[in-house]
Structure formats: C-alpha cells, structure tokens
A and B are shown apart, each in its own frame.
Chain A
C-alpha cells in the first residue's frame, strides 16, 4: 500500500537539487499531501499541468525524498535518513511507466523488458520464460528482437508497461502513459494497467485525459497547485 501524511516537498531539497542542478529553486511542489491507497487499488491522479502530479509520482518512485511528513510505501517508511540500499530494493518493487517510455535505445525489446529481472540476478532461463510470457501479454511477441526505435509509440509504451510489471511489483505508477497515443492504444494501455491492479498491485495513473477517465471509472486523487483537493480513497 501507499500512505502519505502531510507530505511536503520543495524543489531544492538535497536530493532534488543534486538531481536537477537547480540549487536555488525552492518552489513548493507538494504541500501537506495526505492520502493512502490500499494494496490492489487503482487511482487516477488528476490535475492541470503544474499541479504537482509528476512531482508526486517522483516521490512515490523514490526519485526524491520528502522534506517533511511521512511517506510509507509497501510497509517501508521513506525519509531523508533512509539507506540507499533500502531505497534501491524498494525501487525494485515499484514499477514506473514514463510518458517518454525511457527504454534503453541500444537494447532489444526483450532485453529491455528483462532488465528488472536481471538486476535481481534471476536465472537466465527463468528470465527468458518470463519475458516471453509478458511480451505475449502486451502483444509484442513478434517484436521481441526489435530495437525501441523500430516500434510505434503505442508499442513502446506497451514494452514499458511490460518492463514495469515483469518483476511483479507491489506498486505501479504511470505518468501520462497515453499522452502521445491514439485513442485505441490509450484504451489498451489503461486496460493493461487496470488488469495489473486486479492482480494485486497498487496502481496510480496520472493523466489529464478526461475521456479516458470516464471510460475507465475509478477513484481519483486531484491535485491543484501542489495541494490535494479531492481524494476518493475511500471508494472501492
């Protein structure tokens, strides 16, 4: 599960400053955000551009640490003092789907998808089986040897989803995963993410595609100017 209690995060925190090189930028990205999502829950994360959706997902993906408040992911409390190895292990249990896919350009689709398992030093024969199965699920079995640049946007995003879920993470985050995709591809992507949540993972999908939200009704978290204005966490 995911739990946030009065979490505040400003640009310019030690980790953030080092990561983006904006040491003087101290704008507040998130302010006193409190919510929780149970295991297996699916949430839309809504809000206009600049509302803090990406910042929240970065926090949940442990790309930054909150300056104040409490953040708990899959039973682990996350703060500034937490060990790097602990963060790395936790990151292996949080799948992330980016708007720009972030696939390794020099690796084939199957090798891209296999990365999380190889980082866990899984047996290579088991890796091959898992990759084949997950590529079947996302409909990319025929393109397993292709490089990312040889795939369409929708195919690349499906490959990114396959990579995010192949290690069966407890949390899956998606930041505008359908932004550059056509309608049919978008529905297919969201359908997959919904399926992942029914299999037990907590899923949060950031989007500003209202049509998509209407087509796949689910509880939503709404952010405006870094504040949580609507929380339907108690919804089923």
Chain B
C-alpha cells in the first residue's frame, strides 16, 4: 500500500462521515452569491466611475427665446481659466463672428481674450460662440429639432414639440476636470438673461457616493455570505465529529495529537469547499456574461450582438462574445472571481480546524 493511502487508513472515513453533497451544494450556493455580489460591486463601481467622469465634463445650457437677437454681444468673450479678466465686468470685447466658428482647439482660444459674438447674432448662436471660444471647451453641440423632439417624446408624444416655444439646448463637453469659468457664465447671463446652466458635477459627487454605498453594501454582503458559509461548514464539521466520535477517541487514546485529527477534517472540508467554490463561481459566469453584455454599451464597451440569425447564436458567435467579454471584463472582477473558490477553501479549512480543536478540548 502506498504511504499516502496508509496515512488515510485511520478509521475516520471522513468521506462517509462528512455530509459531502450537502456541504458542497451549500458552499456552491454561497460562492455563487459571493461571486454575483462581488461582480455587482465591481460593475457598479466601473459604471458609476465612467458616468461620473462623463457627467463631470458635461454642461448643458438652456437658452430661452433662442432666436431673439443677443441682448449684449459685447459680453460674449471669455478668458482662459484662472486668467484675470481684461475688463471690470469680466468680459472682453467680442466682435469677430469668425472666431465663434473656430474649433475649441484653435490656437487663438488659448491666447486669452477672443472676440466671439457679433451684434447680428441670435442669442443661441452668440452663446454658442462664447462657449466655443472658451479654452476649456472640447465640444459644443446645439441640439437640433429632431434631437429635442426625441428628448421630449416621453412627455409630449410623437406630436413633437414644434408647436411649443422651447429653449435651445446646448451641450458643452469640457476638458477633463475643467468647469465653466465665471466669465463665461456672466457672458451667457448678459447675452440671454434667464438662461439655465446645468452643471453635472453635482451628479458626479452623487454618483460616486452611490458607488461607494454600493461597494460598502457589497462588502457587507460578502462578509455575511462568508459568515454564513463558515456557520454551514461548522455545522457540517460538528456532524462529522459526532459521527466519528468513537473513532476520534480511539485515535486520541493512541496518541494522535489535536493537529492530526484537525488537519484530517480540515483537508476534507477544504477540498469540498474548494469544489463547491469552483462550482458556484462557474454557475455565476453565465448570468454575469449576460449582464456584462447588457451593460457593455453603458460601461463603455462595444455593444455585443449575437443570436440574430434564425437558428439562434452559433458556437463561433458565443466564443466571440466570451472572448470580447474576457477582454472587456475589469481585471479586478477576474481576479476576484478567481479568488472565490480559494477563499471558500480557506474558510472551510480554518473553520474545520477551529471546530475540531475546540471539540477535542473536551478530551484531556
């Protein structure tokens, strides 16, 4: 007989003493929950971070009576961020219409005062010109009629908004970390009093708070799942100890140290927990893949489409989807999911060790 087999022939027969199927199933269920919770937390963090980053850089300006002539085009110039203004009212002269059509990266914008609006401009175009002249602006986009119709469709239906007097909506994408300068805001107020500026950085703070809350909840849930798993393992170990009480007492009488008996139980429980953990993690992959596919457009990944043919999706399509998901899955999620089975095994091992050693204390 081999040495390894000989060592195992100690009468404990743990493969029969421990409720292996139920323990494996329970650990698999716990690992599934932990995997889904962890994946949810990682996904929420990734999406919220992305959204928060996007929200922080996006400003929306609503200009009432957009086709009216600009009230004060002399206010329609901006200075670069942090730079002192040239005039006491915070605006500089804006007389060149050409400047308003320049892209945001044009060198003239970085030189300070820019002539952005002309007296013959409407309020909307004058504000567009001011915004485009701002050095922190990356993109200025005024929503056209069909885009506004789409925005309002949930409230106004297909009839559209053409009959209503609506403000012009201008989206401004700023450089990362930048904000609209006070001068630009003052210019907008002078050109079109009553304009509404929505700064989304408040949303960013809220999104980050939500993400942090979700992460805290997820951490709590994972801890709870781990604790419940440990309790389940502890109960299974107690069952095994009860079933093998006589054998353990015989081994104890023959001089077996506590560590020997504890390690025999711990190895068995850890093996079952590892298998359960792997099963639970594998079971979590299909729903995670589905969620990841749904969230891909929201989290910045490309939209994954498959299964559009009459025969359903093919194996090749599935492989492509999995490969894409693998490539787009955050490394933290992959690492975390990989750790779940080993964490389950460790919890099983340490729980069994503690339980058996405490139980053995009743013997001298």
Contact = CB atoms under 8 A, between A and B. Distances in A.
B9 A114 contact: yes
Interface string A87-129: 1111111001000001011110001101110111101100110
A102 B256 contact: no
B260 interface: yes
B258 A84 contact: yes
Contact of A88 (B1, B11, B247, B256): B256
B364 A114 contact: no
A120 B364 CA distance: 19
A64 interface: yes
Contacts of B362: 18-19
B269 to A, nearest CB: 20
Count class of interface residues, chain A: 35 or more
A104 B2 contact: no
B253 A115 contact: no
B197 interface: no
Contacts of A18: 361-363
A63 B256 contact: no
Nearest to A115: B254
A65 B255 CA distance: 16
Contacts of B13: 106
B256 A19 contact: no
A99 to B, nearest CB: 14
Contacts of B11: 104-107, 111-112, 115
A62 interface: yes
A124 B254 contact: no
A225 B361 CA distance: 30
A116 B247 CA distance: 13
Given A85-B257, A88-B255, A91-B253, A19 B7 contact: no
B6 A114 contact: yes
Nearest to A169: B255
Count class of interface residues, chain B: 20 to 34
A119 B253 contact: no
A93 B246 CA distance: 21
Q: Does more than half of chain B's interface fall in helix, strand or loop, or is it mixed?
A: loop
Contacts of B364: 15, 19, 62-65, 87
Interface string B100-142: 0000000000000000000000000000000000000000000
B46 to A, nearest CB: 51
Interface string B1-35: 11100110111010000000000000000000000
B250 interface: yes
Nearest to A107: B11
Nearest to B9: A111
B249 to A, nearest CB: 8
A128 B253 CA distance: 22
Contacts of B7: 118, 121
A88 B260 CA distance: 11
Interface centre among A96, A106, A111, A116 (most CB of B within 10 A): A106
Interface in A52-68: 61-65
Interface in B344-364: 361-364
Contacts of B257: 84-85, 88-89
B26 to A, nearest CB: 26
A91 B254 CA distance: 6
Nearest to A121: B7
A93 B363 CA distance: 18
Given A119-B255, A121-B7, 19 more contacts: A15-B364, A61-B253, A63-B253, A89-B255, A91-B254, A91-B255, A92-B254, A92-B255, A96-B253, A105-B11, A111-B9, A116-B254, A118-B9, A119-B10, A123-B3, A124-B1, A124-B6, A127-B6, A128-B1
Interface of B: 1-3, 6-7, 9-11, 13, 246-247, 250-258, 260, 361-364
Q: Which 6 A-B pairs have the closest CB atoms?
A: A104-B11, A92-B255, A15-B364, A18-B362, A91-B255, A124-B3
